[in-house]
Each structure stands twice: as C-alpha cells, then as structure tokens.
Amino acid sequence: MKLSRTLSTMLDDPRLFRQYAYVDGKWTHGDGGREEAVIDPATGEVIGHIPWLEADQIRAAVDAAEGAFVHWRALRADERCERLLAWYDLLQANREDLATIMTLEQGKPLPDARGEVEYGASFVRWFAEEGKRTFGETIPSHIPNAALGTIKEPVGIAALITPWNFPLAMITRKAAAAMAAGCPVIVKPAGETPFSALALAELAERAGIPAGIFNVVLGEPAEVSKILCFDDRVKALSFTGSTRVGRLLLEQSANTVKRVSLELGGNAPFIVGPDMDPKEAAFAAVAAKFQTAGQDCLAADRILVHESIHDEFVEHFAERMAALTVGNGLESEIDLGPLIHRQAVEKAAAIVDDALAKGATLVAGDQSLAPGENFFMPTLLTGVTHDMKIWHEESFAPVAGITAYANDDQVIEMANDTEYGLAAYIYTHDIRRIWKIMRALEFGMVSVNSVKMTGPPVPFGGVKHSGLGREGGITGIDEYLETKYYCLGALGSVSGS
C-alpha cells in the first residue's frame, strides 16, 4: 500500500487515505502505469497520486457492477437500508479524518469540511430510509376482470460524475439514492479531489456494501466519461458540474438513451427589498457569497439591492467582508481557503478587470494581501451591469457584485437575465413582494430570508441551463427507479372493485 507520509500521519486511521481506484471491491492501479499528482491548493504541495485507469479497466468496472446488480437488487429494501445505515455510522465515526482529507485536497476550512461530512452523511441516512418507501400504485381497472398497478424497479447501473467543490456530499447525494433503489454505482470523482471518494469506498467496504456496488474509477475525464456514456449497460448518468460539460455528457448519452440527471452551474441573484434592515441583509449576503471561497453553485453572484438602501448596504457589506480571514484551511479561525487552482485565480482576476473596464467600482479587494498563489482576496464591486462578465458567468470566486434597482418589476427582469436557473435568494418581509417575486423567478430553488436552504428533505435542482431532475427529497430516488406497469387479466373476481 502506497501512503503519502504527510497525509497519512495526519489521520487517526491512515487506511482511509487510498491512492488506488476501487473496482469490484479491489484496490486497483492503472494497467498502463499512468499516474496523476493531487495537489493541496493551499500550499501547492503534492499530497498523493492516483492511477489513471485504461479503457478496459473502466469497462471492467461496468462488468463488475453488472454482476453485482443481480444480488443487490434482489435484497429486500430493509436489508439495503441496514448496509447504508452502517455506512452512515462509519462516515460519522470517521468525520474528523474525512474532513482532514477534504481540507487537504479541496482547501475549504476544516469546520466547513466537517460540515460537509455531516451534510454528505445525512443523504446516506435519508436515502437508506427512503429506499423502504418506493411504493407502487394500484390503478382502478378499466379492463374487465383485471387488476392493474405499478411497481418500482431499479433502473440499473448508474454512472456518477462529480465536481471538486463538494468532494463528498455530491457523491453521497447521488450514490445513496441509487444504492437504496437497488442500483450499483460507478463514481468518477473530479481529479482534483479523488481522496474523499476513495475514503468513501473504504468505508463502504467496511459497512458490508458488496463488491461491485460502489466503484470509484479514475482517469482522463473525457475518456472515462465517454466510455461510461457509450456503454449501453450503464442505464443512468448523474452529473454535477459545469453547464459546459453537462451539455457534452447529455449529448454523449443520447445514443444509449440513458436516464440523465444534471446538476449544473448557478448564478444566483440575491434580492434585497427596500424594507430590509441594510445591515442584516448585508451580513446575510456575505454569508451567501463567500462560503467555500465563492466556489459554490449556490453562491450569491448578483446582489440586487433596492436603490433606497443601496449605499448603507454596501457599507455594511464591506465592513463584514473586511472581517473575513483568508488562509490555509487547516489553520484555525480561517473563513476562506484557497481557490482550487491557479486558473481559477486568473479567471477571477479577469472577471474583476472586465467589470472595472466596463465601469464598475472597486470598493474593496487587495490581491497583494493574498497569502499564496492560489488565494483570491474577497473583492467587492458596485455598479455591476448586464454587459459585464460577472453578470453572466459564475465567477466561482470570492468576488461580489452589487447592482441597485428601482422597483420589483425591474429586479425580476434583472434576476432572470441569465441562462442559469438554480437558486435565488429574496430578503424582504413584505409578504406580497415575496409572493410576487418568488413566483416570477425562473429558478428551481428560492430561499426567502434564509441563507441556508439545502438538506436531505429538499428537492435540489435547477431549471434552464442549470440542470435536469432533482436530487434529495422524496423524489431524488426516482432518478434511479423505473415504473413497471402490470395488468393481471382474467382474474375473474376483481371486476367492479
């Protein structure tokens, strides 16, 4: 077993740090000898290596899943529930190690990483239970002497392709739903953050999840995804990531007519009504913008403030933003860690430059204070307008843009002026305004007077170019279920029932 001395010595249980792929219950290296380094974004140091599997090895993962499916689907829902709950218990018991791994590979502050482990584990518990409630229906028969109804059956092998910003929860929200439904999964995590996925595999094995049910494949992203998309045995594809890649995968899944769920980019408006206390709203906006250093699909990207309180709001926002600490997420009292890599920093700088060139005002944000080359200091721009990149693109960085608006109709138009439709925030206590704006917003999720909006019971997902389908909630498991209709004819005794 290869162990990076630094990372493994930081863990209570070094066996959670695995530098192999996990296929058919076995830790696997790449047959072609290809390897990729994984970097700590805070320090630029190599924290480990992962193998890149060859095409045949990816297909072998599909073979394994196909074999394992037969037994897994045949288990009773309560038997699958038991194994998933054992997995949940292990995630909780190993929370500290999982958080350390996450902070090292992703960069988010340790308390946020602990929060994500909790969050990720909560989906496992939720779907373990939901698996017992995949009810079919009885249908009043229109056919003489027949009984009609539906049963729910697992769709089959699910390929899960996930991003680096939430390396654990974006996997469990999909995998637990699929596994509870009776499906095996093949996870392709982001190359930047594979170790959280591999730790999940280690714990799945300890929880008694059979070989071939939870697989983690690693490799060149486009190559791996193509193999999974073109394989007819893979019946469902669930992807979380950028809209650009989501479109590509949707196209690649067309030939085999897969069930496709997409959780894509966001460009959330944060609307502040004229009746709001500017300080309260500004503090909430800071919280909604800077989590995970702005690398969050729910980040408040376009902050739209009524003109009557705009200046006061900006003052409070700047004051609160100035209190945010930036540094290595392993240190204490850090609010913002690094961005995932240097290109993300360059993209953030380009977005700021573009806005300034087009007339925005830089209120705060001094890059000379950045504690390392992958860090971007919290930045505040005012006078943001629709011709600027920051208006249309997800910055995925701690860059906040504020725009003043005059009335409700105008702010609705501004908020909807994006190809994205994931989440939106409204801050006002005027119930008529809430209702009007909430109904008019073209977004899958609207949060009113609350930064926190997610969790297991919630149908998470977007409209427009932000995605297809919903994860979590009571419908999340449906992404992995087929409805089979049955007609039992010639029964004799059921007519009229």
Ligand X SMILES: N[C@@H](CC=O)C(=O)O
276 φ, ψ to 5°? Answer: -75, 150
One of 231, 394, 478, 479 touching ligand NAD (CB under 6 A): 394
Per rule CB under 6 A, is residue 298 in the interface with ligand X?
Answer: yes
Residue 441 contacts ligand X per CB under 6 A: no
Q: Is 19 in the site for ligand X (CB under 6 A)?
A: no
165 contacts 468 by C-beta, under 8 angstroms: no
Which does residue 231 bind out of ligand NAD, ligand X, none, counting CB within 5 to 8 angstroms by kind?
none
For 281, the token pair is 């709203």
Which of ligand NAD, ligand X, none interacts with 479 (beta carbon under 5 to 8 A by kind)? Answer: none
Among 264, 411, 445, 481, binds ligand NAD (CB under 6 A): 264
Q: How far is the CB of 459 from ligand NAD (least distance, A)?
A: 12
Please state, as a whole number, how many other Cβ atoms lie within 10 Å of the Cβ of residue 496: 7
**Token digits of residue 43:** 């320090």
- Of the two residues 225 and 253, which places its CB atom closer to ligand NAD in the complex? 225
By the rule CB under 6 A, 454 interacts with ligand X:
yes
Q: Per CB under 6 A, which of residues 142..171 are in contact with ligand X?
A: 165-166
Report the number of secondary-structure helices (H) and strands (E) in the chain. Answer: 15, 20
Q: Determine the residue with CB nearest ligand NAD.
A: 241
Residue indicated by tokens 């995949």: 134
Ramachandran angles phi, psi of 274, nearest 5°: -70, -20
327's CB contacts (< 8 A; 6+ apart) are 42, 334, 336, 337, 371, 375
The answer to whether residue 265 forms part of the interface with ligand NAD (CB under 6 A) is yes
Give the catalytic positions in this structure: 263
Minimal CA–CA distance to 108: which of 50, 214, 193?
Answer: 193
What's the rounded Cα separation, in Å, for the pair 1 and 340? 27
CA 75 → CA 70, 179, 232, 345, 364, distances in Å? 9, 11, 24, 48, 58
The least CB distance from residue 250 to ligand NAD, in Å, is 11
CB of 252 to ligand X, least distance (A): 23
**Residue closer to ligand NAD (CB basis): 295 or 403:** 295
Beta carbons of 307 and 317 less than 8 angstroms apart: no
What are φ and ψ of residue 257, in 5° steps? 45, 55
Query: Mask of contacts with ligand NAD, 284-303, x by CB under 6 A?
Result: -------------x------
Does residue 125 sit in helix, strand or coil?
helix
Q: Pick the closer one to ligand X by CB: 69 or 425.
A: 425
- Nearer Cβ to ligand NAD (53/404): 53
Interaction pattern, residues 230-249, with ligand NAD; x per rule: CB under 6 A: ----------xxx--x--x-
Instruction: Note whether 297 binds ligand X by CB under 6 A.
Output: yes
Kindly state whether residue 260 participates in binding ligand NAD, applying the rule CB under 6 A. no
Does residue 112 interact with ligand X by CB under 6 A? no
Q: Which residue in 221, 372, 383, 489 binds ligand NAD (CB under 6 A)?
A: 221
The residue (of 241 and 278) whose beta carbon lies closer to ligand X is 241
Q: Are 428 and 270 in contact (CB under 8 A)?
A: no
Size of the site for ligand NAD (CB under 6 A): 28
Number of neighbours of residue 409 by Cβ within 10 angstroms: 12
**Burial label, 487 (beta-carbon count in 10 A; 0-12, 13-18, 19+):** exposed
Contacted by 264, from ligand NAD, ligand X, none: CB < 5 to 8 Å by type: ligand NAD
Burial call 72-90: b when 16+ CB within 10 Å, e when fewer = beeeebeebbebbebbbeb
454 binds, among ligand X, ligand NAD, none (CB under 5 to 8 A by kind): ligand X
Contact stretch for ligand X (CB under 6 A) within 22-30, 52-60, 152-160, 294-302 = 294-302
Interaction pattern, residues 165-204, with ligand X; x per rule: CB under 6 A: xx--------------------------------------
Taking CA atoms, 69 is separated from 175, 233, 256, in Å, by 14, 11, 19
Shortest CB 297 distance to ligand X, Å: 3
CB of 49 to ligand NAD, least distance (A): 16
Residue 394's binding partner among ligand NAD, ligand X, none (Cβ under 5 to 8 angstroms by kind) is ligand NAD
| 150 close to 483: Cβ distance less than 8 angstroms | yes
> What are the residues whose beta carbons fall under 8 Å from the beta carbon of 249, sequence distance 6 or more?
161, 225, 229, 237, 239, 260, 262
Q: How far is the CB of 188 from ligand X (least distance, A)?
A: 17
Pick the binder of ligand X from 97, 130, 296, 394 (CB under 6 A). Answer: 296
Binding letters toward ligand NAD, positions 152-191, x by CB under 6 A: ---------xxxxxx---x-----------------x-xx
* 8 Å CB contact between 337 and 294: no
Is the CB of 141 or the CB of 261 nearer to ligand NAD? 261
* Distance of alpha carbon 41 from alpha carbon 375, whole angstroms: 9
Q: Say which entry of ligand X, ligand NAD, none residue 205 contacts (CB below 5 to 8 A, set by partner kind).
A: none
- Residues 64, 69, 72, 75: is their CA dihedral positive or negative? negative
Q: Using CB under 6 A as the criterion, which residues of the chain lie in contact with ligand NAD when the complex forms?
A: 161-166, 170, 188, 190-191, 221-222, 225, 240-242, 245, 248, 263-266, 297, 394, 396, 422, 462, 467
Q: Using CB under 6 A as the criterion, which residues of the chain lie in contact with ligand X when the complex forms?
A: 165-166, 296-298, 454, 460
